[in-house]
Amino acid sequence: MSQPDVIALLKKAKENNNHFTFLVGAGLSAESGIPTFRGEDGYWVIGSKNYHPQEMATRQMFTKHPKEVWEWYLSRIKAYGKSIPNEGHYALVEFEKHLQGQFSLVSQNVDGLNLKAGNSIDHFYPIHGDLTFIRCFNECSDELYKIRDFFNPEEEITKETFDRLVCPKCKGITRPHVLWFDEAYDEKFYRLNSVLEIAEKTDVLFTIGTTGTTSLPHHIFQTALQNRTLIIDINPDDTIFSQVLYEYDNGFVIREKSGSALPKILKRMKI
Ligand code: APR
């Protein structure tokens, strides 16, 4: 399928009031200076042992070493606080403006950049959480609290910082509002059922900046294949998704960075 064919199909889908779902991963934020997950990632040290994010980002590690795990997240929150949305984020805001109710944004990213760019919460599904929020570790309520009300990303992290991260309701410890590797997706915090419903009604699926490694994004992709959905993958590298799309007659692979590919598609769709 050529690029002009895809643009014609996208314009027709918009006119036919079809539903567009944008499934985004760490690659969308790469041009904002945020390292991807499976790229060159830093280690973290507790005691004398180096840990990988996959070992750090767990309920088990938090239960054993809450202060150290909080310190690791606070350093990421500081980094995210300095990051600004890139052209790919702003293109998704434009898509939402023109598609409105035909638009769903399913994000694996926890950097808060989609909302910072201007996407509305109404069509936004942060399925791995959002590091700009914290919540009660003991779940005395489902309430999400803005991290900025407890910690200013511009400030230094000190022992005193940790003492401030207490639940306003029960005074117990809080946790970052993110899905840990040893936890399961749910509707309450990660919009699981809503996203499964969206996957079923999706007519056009964009997979952007993701290796498709985690289970819910993989399920969304599989549902789209079963429903013969038009699928467009945007990624400078090959992934398990693009490998399938090369053999799928309603798919298109754009081997490009999202910061340039998305604005181009917008322009060619003349929206
Ligand atoms: N534009 C588009 N894609 C890009 C760009 C870019 N500028 N730069 C890198 N990429 C691609 C990489 O080629 C890679 O395929 O982004 C993808 C990032 O993949 P991962 O690092 O695996 O990130 P992601 O797919 O989002 O990981 C999913 O895994 O560890 C969990 O919770 C974590 O949300 C994360 C999930």
Residue ranges of domains in the chain: 3-270
Single-letter amino acid, residue 207: T
Sequence-separated (6 or more) residues with CB below 8 Å from residue 66: 137, 162, 173
Cα(125)–Cα(32) distance, integer angstroms: 20
Can you read off the two tokens belonging to residue 80? 């995210």
**Ligand 1 centroid to residue 136 C-alpha, Å:** 29
Residue nearest to atom 29 of ligand 1 (CA): 214
Task: Say whether 62 sits in a helix, a strand or coil.
Answer: helix
**Ligand 1 centroid to residue 233 C-alpha, Å:** 12
Q: Reply yes or no on whether 218 is catalytic.
A: no
**126 C-beta closer than 6 A to ligand 1:** no
Cα(227)–Cα(79) distance, integer angstroms: 40
**Is 30 in contact with 83 (CB distance < 8 Å)?**
no
**Atom of ligand 1 at shortest distance to CA of 178?**
32
| pTM for this entry | 0.95
Cα(106)–Cα(108) distance, integer angstroms: 7
**Is 149 in contact with 188 (CB distance < 8 Å)?**
no
Digit-by-digit pLDDT tens for the chain (271 residues) are: 677 689 999 999 999 999 999 999 999 999 999 887 765 555 566 666 777 878 889 999 999 999 999 999 999 999 888 899 999 999 999 999 999 999 999 999 999 999 999 999 999 999 999 999 999 999 999 999 999 999 998 899 888 899 999 999 999 999 999 999 999 999 999 999 999 999 999 999 999 999 999 999 999 999 999 999 999 999 999 999 999 999 999 999 999 999 999 999 999 998 7
User: What Å distances lie between residue 118 and 24, 112, 270, CA to CA?
Assistant: 16, 10, 20
**Is 68 in contact with 46 (CB distance < 8 Å)?**
yes
Residues 140-147: contacts with CB within 8 Å, 24+ apart?
Answer: 140/167, 140/169, 140/170, 140/172, 141/169, 142/188, 142/189, 143/169, 144/177, 145/174, 147/77, 147/176
**Ligand 1 centroid to residue 254 C-alpha, Å:** 15
For the segment(s) 3-270, the CATH number from 3.40.50.1220, 3.40.50.970, 3.40.50.12780, 3.40.50.620 is 3.40.50.1220
